[in-house]
Amino acid sequence: MNDDAAHRAAASDGPAPIDPDQLRDYFSALQERLVAAAEALEGSGGGRFRADHWEKEAGSPLAGSGCTCIIEGGRVFERGGIAFSQVSGAALPASATARRPELAGRSFTAMGVSLVLHPENPYCPTAHMNVRALLATRPAAEPVWWFGGGMDLTPYYPFVDDIRHFHATCRQALQPFGDDCHARYKKWCDEYFFLKHRNEARGVGGVFFDDLNEGGFERCFALTRAVGDAFAKAYLPLLERRQATPYGERERDFQAYRRGRYVEFNLLWDRGTLFGLQSGGRSESILMSLPPLVKWRYDWRPAAGSAEAELYEALRPRDWV
């Protein structure tokens, strides 16, 4: 079985062993831990996350609830969101069934944690992390379940040591699940977070996986937890190093320009965004990933040899570790 077939293998034969309470307990606790870690970095004089608890209204195509924790105008984070949600619907949306047409018409339950953090300092990278589980059912058919997720780094002014730390932490987290696991999921991340219309990577990668059910529920859940638990260790030390770096309008202007690429990817290519919008999800929570200030310019390129040009060198995929 090749890598793609392994990643997208059909669900295991027997009843789905997912315990929704077990999943919910982990995901909701992960959200709480990540919010606490981000607030600790903000410090006593920094910002705090606002918890927005929500529940889908009667008559909505989705049923479910969640909590979106948002910070805006913090000492470190200009904008950030750390969200937990658990939703169910009568039919999987097109973004899911286009890749797996055999699942068309199945009802589903999905839950997980999604995070995007946009620091104000341009020398601090943006980061994204998501871990999730999904169960699709249909009468007189075996349930189908899978996990997905990953994390990736989007710097504006890249530091090689920071990028190496991020990738090394990802590799360490996945090492218990096979010697080839990190290499497979790093490659998948490089291919996924790519703006096809620009022929350009969004950032410097990380790890990404989807449709994960190979090896059984316990292994897949453990792998998903390993990724979620590794995020704070992979990312927050980079902010501790760079948050006091002086910057000016030039750096902020370039940051706003590159944030435009982030917006383009999320609205045009991101599966999670498309899944949420197509399934009738809560728009405010889905679009929390967008940065507060963005700029676009026509056919702009950085000057050769400039600090801004170094980013485009770093965007080329490589083995950072």
What is the residue-level pLDDT of the chain in tens, covering all 321 positions?
444 444 444 444 444 456 788 999 999 999 999 999 999 999 988 999 999 998 877 666 678 889 999 999 999 999 999 999 998 877 776 666 767 777 777 888 889 999 999 999 999 999 999 999 988 878 877 778 899 999 999 999 999 999 999 999 999 999 999 999 999 999 999 999 999 999 999 999 999 999 999 999 999 999 999 999 999 999 999 999 999 999 999 999 999 999 999 999 999 988 778 777 776 777 888 888 899 999 999 999 999 999 999 999 999 999 999
* Residue-level pLDDT at 279: 67
Q: Identify each DSSP E strand in 59-185 by its residue range.
A: 62-72, 77-89, 107-119, 126-137, 144-154
Go through the chain and tell me how many residues it has: 321
The reply to whether 53 belongs to the active site is: no
CA distance 271 to 261: 16
Which one is catalytic: 118, 128, 165, 182?
128
Within 10 angstroms of residue 200's Cβ, the number of other Cβ atoms is 14
* Residue-level pLDDT at 3: 42
CA distance 146 to 165: 29
pTM of the entire structure?
A: 0.88
If you search the block for the tokens 């917006």, which residue do you land on?
A: 263
If you search the block for the tokens 């910070």, which residue do you land on?
A: 71
Specify which residues 201 forms β-bridges with.
194
CA distance 105 to 235: 39
* Residue-level pLDDT at 120: 98
CA distance 137 to 133: 14
Which residue, among 73, 35, 34, has the nearest Cα to 51 in the 3D structure? 35
Which residue, among 288, 299, 304, 307, has the nearest Cα to 82 in the 3D structure? 288
Q: For residue 124, give every residue at least 6 positions away whose Cβ sits within 8 Å of its Cβ, in sequence order, or none.
A: 76, 238, 239, 242, 243, 245
* Residue-level pLDDT at 61: 67
Can you identify the CATH homologous superfamily of domain 3-314? Coproporphyrinogen III oxidase, aerobic (3.40.1500.10)
Residues 284-308 as b/e (b if ≥16 CB within 10 A, e otherwise) read: ebbebbbbeebeeeeeeeeeeeeeb
Phi/psi at 131 (5° precision): -135, 135
